[in-house]
């Protein structure tokens, strides 16, 4: 305060209550019809707070000041930010305020408001009012039916029915942007959590049809990455169907399998293409299972939906993934070829057996191979950048017991691949909690093609 300097508001509040004879916390509760507490532990489970309260009030719960007790209370009515004692006061006053306002009671009539006026009040909520006055907030309010509840990523029951654009907006604005890490708070990249790759997680990855993992989910591999809005721009000259003919609303996540200083730098890509009124289709791609050693340039190599099993793969993911698929190093894309982005079924379905995400050389050539955080490279990329050329082949994927023959097959497939499109960013890359733990990319197994 001017002239006075800092003032201790909390102490003033406590003192003022005492001077005015406001009863202490427990007596206050009795007088407003709430049960008194019988021990400090009824108030809070925080050990430090408990120790402080006990020493401050000399172990006497009757001495706790009302304000202190109210702020320490852990028992909170569902959806409320304050405790039950304050809630009791709030609910009394809020309802009295309504009951004593004639415009809410006796005069809430057609005569006073007109019939149209009453309908207007009845049919609109605070969400509509905010939308009307602040159109820029429309995307932030998607899925919200109550403006007074925390705004966030609500997934309404009819989410799948929405347009691809609306779904992309929702995931982007209410998922990624809302949970972007503050400067200096970007989490370090954890090592791979092989123990987390349990049966249920593996099945979930190949079976769950959802864009968002349940709260509390964390990715045991590829825990950290960067997310951007992307568009798949198809090029003429190929007849791969469905989303391969173009998808305007996609999300791209680029990640590494785990802390590069642990097992080397192993880049991965996950692409989600959103569809009007239908579930999204997803594909993921890797360079190889074990990655690219100490080369930290995320655009150094092509990524593909098929990688060869490795003889000395130390992680053992191939073995683990074999629990759910006979072809654990292949993801198929037939679902992607079956649907168009407007939700209609593709006419004559043609699926590539293998696609190759070929990094834009302008990006590849400007990024350092030395150890550094790859996420810094990604957040520097402007919206509107072509990140990958996408090539596809329909040659059958064959392997041989002779590694050099398998190599030859792989080369032949790659040589037969033609350019089918480009992935172009439609936003900057963001680093966010949603991008790391929320967004879910289904894998399509060979068995489910």
Binding site for ligand HEM (CB under 6 A): 197, 201-202, 205-206, 219-222, 225, 253, 255, 268-270, 284-286, 305, 307, 321, 324-325, 328-331, 440-441, 443, 445
Say which residues have a Cβ less than 8 Å from residue 413's Cβ, sequence separation at least 6: 353, 354, 393, 395, 397
Q: Shortest approach of ligand HEM to residue 195 CB, angstroms?
A: 12
Q: Name the one residue in this structure whose structure tokens are 């360079």.
A: 287
Separation in Å, CA 109 to CA 76, 104, 105, 116, 363: 36, 9, 8, 11, 66
What's 192's DSSP letter?
P
Q: Shortest approach of ligand HEM to residue 166 CB, angstroms?
A: 22
Helix segments in 82-139, DSSP class H? 84-99, 110-113, 115-123, 126-133
- Residue nearer to ligand HEM on the CB measure, 303 or 420: 303
**Encoded tokens for 77:** 């009515």
- Residue nearer to ligand HEM on the CB measure, 220 or 250: 220
Question: Looking at beta carbons, which residue is closest to ligand HEM?
Answer: 268
- Residue nearer to ligand HEM on the CB measure, 302 or 428: 302
CA nearest to 342, candidates 170, 163, 159: 163
Report whether 153 contacts 272 (CB < 8 A). no
Q: Shortest approach of ligand HEM to residue 188 CB, angstroms?
A: 17
- Residue nearer to ligand HEM on the CB measure, 83 or 359: 359
Q: Shortest approach of ligand HEM to residue 245 CB, angstroms?
A: 23
Report whether 229 contacts 139 (CB < 8 A). no
Q: Shortest approach of ligand HEM to residue 398 CB, angstroms?
A: 17
Quickly count: other Cβ atoms within 10 Å of residue 84's Cβ.
Answer: 17
C-alpha–C-alpha distance, residues 69 and 40, integer Å: 10
- Residue nearer to ligand HEM on the CB measure, 131 or 167: 167
Q: Shortest approach of ligand HEM to residue 275 CB, angstroms?
A: 19
- Residue nearer to ligand HEM on the CB measure, 197 or 378: 197
- Residue nearer to ligand HEM on the CB measure, 295 or 444: 444
CA nearest to 43, candidates 89, 86, 83: 83
Pairing, β 267-275 against β 247-256: antiparallel
Q: Shortest approach of ligand HEM to residue 282 CB, angstroms?
A: 9
């Amino acid at each position: 305060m001017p002239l006075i300097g800092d003032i201790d508001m909390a102490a003033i509040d406590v003192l003022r209550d005492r001077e005015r004879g406001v009863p202490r916390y427990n007596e206050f509760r009795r007088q407003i019809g709430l049960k008194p507490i019988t021990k400090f532990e009824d108030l809070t489970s925080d050990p430090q707070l408990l120790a402080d309260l006990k020493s401050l009030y000399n172990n006497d719960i009757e001495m706790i000041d009302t304000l202190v007790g109210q702020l320490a209370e852990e028992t909170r009515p569902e959806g409320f930010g304050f405790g039950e004692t304050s809630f009791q006061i709030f609910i009394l006053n809020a309802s009295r305020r309504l009951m004593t306002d004639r415009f809410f009671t006796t005069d809430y009539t057609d005569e006073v408001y007109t019939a149209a006026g009453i309908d207007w009040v009845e049919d609109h909520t605070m969400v509509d009012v905010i939308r009307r006055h602040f159109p820029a907030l429309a995307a932030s309010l998607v899925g919200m039916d109550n403006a007074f509840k925390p705004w966030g990523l609500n997934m309404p029951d009819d989410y799948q029915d929405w347009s691809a654009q609306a779904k992309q907006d929702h995931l982007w604005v209410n998922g990624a942007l809302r949970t972007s890490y503050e400067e200096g708070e970007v989490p370090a990249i954890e090592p791979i959590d092989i123990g987390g790759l349990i049966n249920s997680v593996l099945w979930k990855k190949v079976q769950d049809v959802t864009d968002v993992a349940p709260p509390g989910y964390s990715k045991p591999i590829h825990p950290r990455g960067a997310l951007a809005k992307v568009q798949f721009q198809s090029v003429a000259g190929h007849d791969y169907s469905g989303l391969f003919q173009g998808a305007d609303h996609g999300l791209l996540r680029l990640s590494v399998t785990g802390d590069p200083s642990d097992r080397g730098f192993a880049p991965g890509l996950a692409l989600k293409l959103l569809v009007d009124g239908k579930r999204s289709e997803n594909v993921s791609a890797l360079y190889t299972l074990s990655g690219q050693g100490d080369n930290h340039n995320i655009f150094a190599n092509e990524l593909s939906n098929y990688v060869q099993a490795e003889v000395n793969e130390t992680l053992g993911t191939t073995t683990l993934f074999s629990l759910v698929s006979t072809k654990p190093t292949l993801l198929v894309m037939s679902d992607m070829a079956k649907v168009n982005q407007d939700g209609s079924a593709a006419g004559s379905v043609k699926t590539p057996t293998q696609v190759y995400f070929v990094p834009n050389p302008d990006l590849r050539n400007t990024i350092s191979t030395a150890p550094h955080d790859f996420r810094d490279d990604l957040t520097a990329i402007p919206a509107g950048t072509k990140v990958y050329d996408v090539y596809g082949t329909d040659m059958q994927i064959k392997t041989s017991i002779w590694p050099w023959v398998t190599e030859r097959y792989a080369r032949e497939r790659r040589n037969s691949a033609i350019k089918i499109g480009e992935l172009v960013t439609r936003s900057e890359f963001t680093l966010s909690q949603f991008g790391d733990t929320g967004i879910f990319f289904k894998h399509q197994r060979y068995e489910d093609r």
